[in-house]
Amino acid sequence: MLKYLMKRSGIYLIMIFLTTSAGYFLAVSSLKPAVLEQEKIPRPTPEQVAASFRGLGLDPDLNPWERYIQWLGGIVTRWDWGRSPNGAFVNAEFADRVLVSTRLFIASIILTLVIGVALGVYSAARQYKFQDRVITSYSYLVHILPAPIAYFLVQLGAIGINEAVGERIFFVTGISTPGIDPGWPAFVDMVAHYAVPTFAMTIFGWAGYQIAQRQYLLDNVNADFVRTARAKGLTRNQAIRKHALRVSFIPVAQSIAFTIPAIFTGGFFAEAIFAWPGIGLWSIQAISLQDVNVATATLAYGSVIFAIGAILADFATTLVDPRVRVQ
């Protein structure tokens, strides 16, 4: 098992390397920070700009390949992901940003999975009944609603609640109130900031799991092995709960990997809408500032997230399905 995970991780490392390199070339050839420097007052001369960028390792006179070698050398030898045009180190900010994003994602990933699977089971058990129709129609509706608009609508709703109550219950933007007292007030403040984005990401995130779980469970409800369990003396519901459910979870577990990019994208939109200073927002800001190194770093982070998801999916599959266990 360990050997297998190592092998998979190796393959994913190669892929991450390739996607990141491709991302770097794209960024280097399309992002031109020098253009923005021209808007500064006093307007620097091109020579000044070039000189300052050269100091930051962003020499605009080098060709993309030379810059790539320089950049890659920095990472390989010093684990230095380069600097922004304003001189900030990518490494310095990266950890904070990742922490913010991870905090935002983790809660909603878990909630999405749990609620999605639970609702899938519930709606499958009540196939074609009222509850099933409501839940499943909702999931299909979510499919035709772009994530940022959905989040925006939630934000509007939260503002509406605040206005109706006449008090600021939910914060619709930001991560915390500056200068809040530590301890209980800080905790309440955190919850008030977390509630809206987590809620939004969750209620618009579970649809995929719900539909998949419902479908796979329905596929298994009349399976031969469920009939065997019933023939042993289990009631239909017991047989489904004990036998069909676990089998139907196998493909759902496998699909986790492929929903990770969606969660990443969703998180990206959520950060943009709710102004959370995570990786997503950082990347947008960086791109508008024509910041090659930050853009590439966030891209690499996205690939890593995907790889982790894929390995987790493999792991989950081996947990629930003895057929793929490897000695």
Partner 1 sequence: MTNIIDPIAEIDEARVADQDVVIGKSRIIFRRFMRNRTAVAGLFIFLALFLFSIFGGFLTSWDKDTIDPLNIGMPPSPDHLLGTTQAGIDLLALIVDGTRTSILIGLIVGGLSVLISAVYGCTMAFFGGKVDATMLFILEALIMMPAILVVAVATSGGGGLKDLPSWLLLVVVLLFFSWMGTARLVRSLSMSLMQRDYVKAAKYMGVPSRRIVWRHLVPNIGSLLVLDFTRGITGAILAEVAFSFIGIGIKVPDVSLGVLIGQATGQVSSFPWMFWVPLTVMFLLTGSLAMMNDGLRDAFDPSSSSIGRAKTKTAKKVNK
Partner 2 sequence: MSTNITPAERLRDAGLYAPGDAVLSVRDLNVRFNSENGVVHAVRGVDFDLMPGKTLGIVGESGSGKSVTSMAIMGLLPETADITGSVRFKGKELLGLSDKAMCKHRGNDIAMVFQDPLSSLTPVYTVGTQIIEALTVHNPTMSKQAKEARAVDLLRMVGIPSPKDRLKAFPHEFSGGMRQRVMIAIAIANDPRVLIADEPTTALDVTIQAQVLEVLHTAQEETGAAVVMITHDLGVVAGMADDIMVMYAGKPVETGTVEDIYYNPRMPYTLGLLGAVPRVDTATKQSLVPIEGTPPNLALPVTGCSFAARCPLVSDACLHGEPELFPVPGVAVPGVEGQALGHKAACIKANELSNDADAHRIFHAPPKPVSKFDGVARVERDKVLELKDVRKHFPLLKGALIKRRIGTVKAVDGLSFDIREGECVSIVGESGCGKTTTLLEIMEFHPDQVGEVIIGGVSNKVATDHKTKMAMRKEMQMVFQDPTGALDPRFTVYEVLAEPLENLGMPKAAIKKRIMELMKLVGLQPDHVNRFPNQFSGGQRQRIGIARALAVNPKLVVLDEPVSALDVSVQAGVINLLDKLRAELGLSYLMVAHDLSVVRHISDRVAVMYLGKIVETGDVDDVFDNPRHPYTRALLSAIPVPDPNLERTRERIILQGDLPSPLDAPKGCNFATRCPVFAALPAAKQEKCLTLEPPLASEKEGAQDFACFFPDGELDADMLVVHA
Residues that bind partner 1 in the complex, under the rule CB under 8 A: 12, 15-16, 18-19, 22-23, 26-27, 29-32, 35-36, 140, 143-149, 152, 156, 258, 261, 264-265, 268-269, 272-273, 283-284, 287-288, 290, 295, 298-299, 302-303, 306-307
Q: How far does the chain reach from its first CA to its final CA, in angstroms? A: 7
- How near is the Cβ of 225 to partner 2 at its closest, in Å? 4
Q: For residues 193-222, which are near partner 2 according to CB under 8 A?
A: 222
- How near is the Cβ of 186 to partner 1 at its closest, in Å? 30
Tokens 């699977």 correspond to: 117
Measured distance CA(190)–CA(47) in Å, rounded: 47
241: contact with partner 2 by CB under 8 A: no
Query: Total binding residues for partner 2 by CB under 8 A?
Result: 30
Residue 181 structure tokens: 């007292």
Q: Which residues contact 140 (CB under 8 A, 6 or more apart)?
A: 207, 211
Which of 304, 256, 254 minimizes the C-alpha distance to 102? 304
Residue 221 structure tokens: 């409800």
Measured distance CA(122)–CA(218) in Å, rounded: 11
Query: What are φ and ψ of residue 67, in 5° steps?
Result: -65, -35
- How near is the Cβ of 211 to partner 2 at its closest, in Å? 22
Residue 322's alpha-carbon distances to 33, 223, 326, in angstroms, are 53, 18, 9
- How near is the Cβ of 321 to partner 1 at its closest, in Å? 19
129: contact with partner 2 by CB under 8 A: no
Q: Is the dihedral of CA 198, 201, 207, 208 positive or negative?
A: negative
Residue 142 structure tokens: 């979510």
Q: Which of 236, 258, 285, 288 binds partner 2 (CB under 8 A)?
A: 236
Selection from partner 2, partner 1, none that 259 binds (CB < 5 to 8 A by kind) is: none
- How near is the Cβ of 17 to partner 1 at its closest, in Å? 10
Q: Which of 30, 38, 173, 228 binds partner 2 (CB under 8 A)?
A: 228
Selection from partner 1, partner 2, none that 137 binds (CB < 5 to 8 A by kind) is: none
Tokens 């489904």 correspond to: 240
Q: Which residues contact 166 (CB under 8 A, 6 or more apart)?
A: none
Amino acid 207 reads: A
16: contact with partner 2 by CB under 8 A: no
Q: Which of 72/320 has CB closer to partner 2? A: 320
According to DSSP, residue 89 is labeled: B
Selection from partner 1, partner 2, none that 203 binds (CB < 5 to 8 A by kind) is: none
Residue 173 structure tokens: 């933007």
Helix (H, G, I), strand (E, B) or coil at 83: strand
- How near is the Cβ of 17 to partner 2 at its closest, in Å? 22
Selection from partner 2, partner 1, none that 210 binds (CB < 5 to 8 A by kind) is: none
Residues that bind partner 2 (CB under 8 A): 3-4, 7, 222-225, 227-236, 242-243, 246-247, 250, 314, 318, 320-324, 326
